[in-house]
């Protein structure tokens, strides 16, 4: 028989937010050492019959090196939540950049931070705020964003994270008028995100992330990927259970088909209003499918959903799946054209095959995240290769050789080309610019030439 988990009264957690944190002893205000305990789950704080006190919550969940900040302190950190410090905004609310050090709290490491404030009129609420603390307050891994502290004061709900210098994968991958992410960087990001998911799935108490997408993968200065935003995360099935039944939530274009296409039920709210809700079967394989979508985005440079594309191409998965069946033949059609051929053919084929397996209609054929990690680790050694270069070599006026456009000297094709076109390609340019690809020329003259992307 399973040992019964400790329960925490949800109401007591909410009421605790209206109490000042300054009443705690000085030793408890600082970092509280993590005791050996079974990890608390979100369901532990959802049971109204829970007798556990607020101090018990602080000593267990928040005891994992979290600081309880006040609103006044976070105003100092963010320069009164200045618009100039605003770095983004999501479903939870606005995110501000700030800086903390031991002047704010003794023993606090000097570092930039991201302060996320709950939008009281937004899509998420106290439960999602609590989920972040429950999961990131206890789980530590190089590929999970680090939660430094929180604030729960009156109606205010804030979270303080380590600052991720390069923002989200979504911004890096899809931003316009910027250099495309190199192939090697894309595979590094994919591997890091995969390791984060594998860690969650392999915990003694597994965690299903449930909202894996490019906007929830954050990147540090070295493009190390870390998972963020655990507001929709769920504890995985335990014992002999095969899945978790829960409301269908997530982002269109990333959710697994078996999770979305399940059961419907009715909910009667206030004033006898009837709502139709979907109940989905959630497993770790749901995360694997979502990972396959993101891997496909990394390969193609296309968003998972885009209403501006032609009808059958609006869903990236539906467009790409037929091409992935024969990925070696269709690789050119799949790969992001902004890479300009600078990727390993063998590596891209392996990544495409992996994406196809992850995107299987049925969950059983999909690989585990540990298996995904092994495949991606094998791709880290593939260096970028210029598969389709456009190199124009300007011949010297006194040189009688026939080297042009990268063809071999003396070839029949070259002789034919020169015979037909005579000297029309002979253009005088500085000798330092004799051989450049068009992408390198653009980088060198970006202030003096118009990029094709800008015209």
Q: Give the domain ranges of the chain.
A: 10-162, 169-378, 391-454
**Cα 201 to Cα 219: distance, rounded to the nearest angstrom:** 21
Sign of the dihedral defined by the CA atoms of residues 383, 384, 386, 388, in that order? positive
What's the token pair of residue 227? 């998972």
- Cβ neighbours, 10 Å, residue 366: 24
Q: Confirm whether pTM is higher than 0.75.
A: no
Q: Which of 89, 156, 99, 97 is nearest to 129 (CA)?
A: 156
**Cα 445 to Cα 421: distance, rounded to the nearest angstrom:** 28
Placement of tokens 């530590």 in the chain: 140
What's the token pair of residue 419? 């015979």
Q: Which CATH architecture has domain 10-162?
A: 2-Layer Sandwich (3.30)
- Give per-residue burial for 168-179: e unless 16+ CB within 10 Å, then b: bbbebbbeeeee
Give every CB contact of residue 452 below 8 A, 6+ residues apart in sequence: none
pLDDT in tens, the chain (455 residues): 444 443 333 334 444 454 444 434 444 433 333 344 567 766 666 543 444 433 445 555 555 578 989 999 999 999 999 999 999 888 788 999 999 999 998 889 999 999 999 887 765 677 888 889 889 988 999 999 999 999 988 889 999 999 999 999 999 999 988 889 999 999 999 999 999 999 999 988 889 998 999 999 999 999 999 999 998 888 876 655 545 555 556 688 998 888 877 555 445 555 555 454 555 678 899 999 999 999 999 999 999 999 999 888 899 999 999 999 999 999 999 999 999 999 999 999 999 999 999 999 999 999 999 999 999 999 997 665 555 554 445 555 555 544 434 444 444 443 444 444 433 333 333 433 333 333 333 343 344 434 444 43
3-state SS class at 192: helix
Do the bridges between strand 111-117 and strand 156-162 make them parallel or antiparallel, or are there none, so unpaired? antiparallel
The alpha carbons of the chain give a radius of gyration, in whole angstroms, of 27
Give every CB contact of residue 326 below 8 A, 6+ residues apart in sequence: none
**CATH fit for domain 169-378, picks 3.40.50.1100, 3.90.25.10, 1.10.510.10, 3.30.300.30:** 1.10.510.10
211 is catalytic: yes
**Cα 327 to Cα 310: distance, rounded to the nearest angstrom:** 22
Q: Which of 211, 229, 287, 336 is catalytic?
A: 211
Give every CB contact of residue 420 below 8 A, 6+ residues apart in sequence: none
């Amino acid at each position: 028989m399973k040992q019964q988990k400790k329960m925490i009264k949800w109401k007591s957690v909410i009421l605790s937010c209206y109490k000042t944190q300054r009443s705690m002893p000085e030793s408890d205000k600082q970092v509280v050492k993590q005791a050996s305990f079974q990890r608390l789950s979100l369901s532990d704080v959802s049971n109204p019959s829970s007798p556990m006190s607020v101090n018990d919550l602080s000593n267990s969940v928040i005891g994992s090196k979290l600081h309880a900040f006040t609103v006044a302190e976070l105003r100092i950190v963010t320069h009164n939540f200045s618009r100039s410090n605003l770095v983004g905004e999501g479903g939870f609310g606005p995110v501000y950049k700030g800086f903390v050090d031991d002047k704010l709290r003794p023993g606090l490491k000097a570092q930039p931070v991201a302060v996320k404030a709950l939008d009281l009129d937004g899509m998420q609420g106290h439960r999602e705020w609590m989920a972040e603390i429950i999961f990131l307050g206890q789980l530590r891994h190089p590929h999970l964003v680090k939660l430094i502290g929180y604030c729960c004061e009156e109606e205010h709900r804030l979270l303080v994270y380590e600052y991720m210098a390069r923002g989200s994968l979504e911004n890096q991958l899809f931003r316009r008028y910027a250099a495309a992410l190199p192939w090697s960087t894309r595979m590094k990001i994919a591997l890091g995100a995969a390791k984060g998911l594998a860690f969650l799935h392999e915990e003694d108490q597994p965690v299903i992330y449930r909202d894996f997408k490019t906007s929830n993968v954050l990147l540090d200065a070295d493009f190390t990927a870390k998972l963020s935003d655990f507001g929709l995360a769920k504890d995985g099935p335990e014992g002999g259970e095969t899945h978790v039944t829960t409301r269908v939530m997530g982002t269109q274009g990333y959710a697994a088909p078996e999770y979305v296409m399940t059961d419907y039920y009715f909910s009667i709210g206030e004033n006898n209003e009837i709502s139709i809700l979907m109940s989905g079967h959630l497993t770790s394989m749901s995360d694997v499918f979502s990972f396959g979508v993101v891997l496909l985005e990394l390969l193609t440079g296309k968003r998972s959903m885009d209403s501006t594309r032609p009808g059958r191409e609006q869903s990236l998965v539906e467009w790409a799946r037929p091409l992935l069946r024969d990925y070696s033949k269709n690789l050119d059609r799949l790969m992001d054209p902004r890479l300009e051929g600078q990727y390993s053919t063998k590596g891209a084929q392996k990544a495409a095959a992996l994406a196809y397996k992850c995107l299987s209609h049925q969950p059983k054929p999909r690989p585990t995240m540990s298996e995904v990690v092994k495949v991606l680790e094998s791709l880290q050694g593939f260096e970028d290769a210029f598969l389709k270069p456009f190199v124009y070599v300007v011949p010297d006026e006194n040189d009688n050789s026939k080297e042009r456009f990268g063809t071999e000297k003396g070839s029949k094709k070259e002789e034919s080309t020169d015979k037909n076109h005579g000297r029309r390609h002979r253009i005088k340019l500085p000798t330092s610019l004799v051989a450049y690809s068009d992408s390198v020329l653009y980088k060198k003259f970006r202030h003096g030439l118009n990029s094709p992307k800008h015209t």
